[in-house]
Structure 1
Amino acid sequence: MINNIKITREPRFSRKPGPKITLEEWFGIIQRDPELSFIISSSTKKYGTTTASWDAHPNPGKELSYLWGVDGRIVAQYPNEHLLKKMIQISRLLNADVVGEKGEIYDLGADGSLITIDKHPSLPKKSASKFVTTNNMAYGMGASTCSDFTKKTRGSGKIPDITELSLLERWEYYFYSWYQGYVTATLENMTDSGESLIFAGSHAERRIKDMEFLKSYCKKYPDRRFHHAANALIKSHIDGIGQ
């Protein structure tokens, strides 16, 4: 299987350059297609959902048929040939392309078979280890110890409206906000193309899973710095672990 395939109109990848795919466009596709349905989770009521399931997948299973609306793209993780073909059908409705991690484009041949077009052979990935290290200087919340993080955070990982929180309860929000800035700066240098390497479902789902990972790491390594936990989380996303 192939990791992180997206439906996109991004000019640097697509043969059909255009604006980002809006949520309205994505929701319209889901609502009009009887084979697609919204994924309902425990966080949906509060945060909504941008995730859909392809219910006609011949081999249904957890996340094997999931499609995420993320940052103006529609993303699938480890799609097999069946889901890739469905993505191509969707991409045609959106006047977009189905693009892989190295810029390759997936399409259907005249006989309906899956074909690959090597659109951008000159965009190799840089080594993630070159940018994600545990030796960099950290400032702000990243310089706090893991034990400080676990002592000042609590709950399931859900982050409510900050105006509803007490000062103590806001620590969780502050730590995760630091992580978001850190991951943004790290990913800025992750590939020559500028492509993001982290796709992990809707923002609410990703945040909950991220906080669970960070808390687990910091309980295991209380003497390390919070930025070490952030690096571990970034690497886990890149490796496809914990997503």
Structure 2
Amino acid sequence: MGFNVHITRVDLNDYYDDPDRYSDESANISMQEWIDYINQDDEMRLDGYAEALFSNGETLICVDESMAVWTQHPDQSITSWFWLDDGMITAKNPDSHMIKKMHSIAKTLNAKVQGEDCYDIDKEGKPIIPPEGLSFRELKPWWKFW
């Protein structure tokens, strides 16, 4: 499993309530925007796939035309993959370095960084808890239905 973090222009609470509402490109990050961003950022490389080698010698390959790699992670043993899905740029289990890179990307694309629990995430990777006075509905994570 893991925890996805998204660069998005859409509030994820609204997205999870009605994903069809965001099926058009009006609020989404388009594939062309993503490619244009990658082409202007010397730290990013569009690979179109991700490859992971397991300790038993087997290889897992995920093919996705939007799959890109951040090549300047301080720990070069970490491969930092980003991909476009449903108009959002996503990273799985990003560390603090990746979160900072996500904020840089979001700023360029006029977007924000949100976790799959619908909270905005600050540059240190911590959720930004909404102020008091919001309803339970506004604070409830997307996966809770009660």
What TM-score do the two structures reach when normalised by structure 2? 0.67
Other-structure match for 2:6 = 6
Question: Which of 35, 47, 51 is equivalent to 2:43?
Answer: 35
**Which residue identity does 1:123 align to in structure 2?**
P
Question: Which of 122, 125, 140 is equivalent to 2:143?
Answer: 125
Aligned 1:74-93 pairs, distance under 5 A:
74-93=89-108
Other-structure match for 2:28 = 20
Two-structure CA RMSD over aligned residues (Å): 2.7
| Closer, same or farther: CA 4–31 of 1 in aligned 2, 3 Å | same
Residue 61 of structure 1 and its aligned partner are, at CA, apart by 3.8
**Which residue identity does 2:4 align to in structure 1?**
N
SS in 2 for 1:30: helix
Structure 1 runs of 4+ aligned residues shifted over 6 Å read none
Query: RCO (CA 8 Å, sep 6+): is it higher in 1 or 2?
Result: 2
1:58 aligns with 2:74: yes
| Closer, same or farther: CA 5–41 of 1 in aligned 2, 3 Å | closer
Aligned 1:213-232 pairs, distance under 5 A:
none
**Which residue identity does 2:70 align to in structure 1?**
W
Aligned length: 115
1:116 aligns with 2:127: yes
Q: What is the identity percentage for the equivalent residue pairs of Structure 1 and Structure 2?
A: 30
SS in 1 for 2:139: coil
Structure exhibiting the larger radius of gyration computed from Cα positions = 1
Gaps of 5+ in 2: 15-25, 51-62, 131-137
User: Which structure carries more helix by proportion?
Assistant: 1
What TM-score do the two structures reach when normalised by structure 1? 0.42
User: Which structure carries more strand by proportion?
Assistant: 2
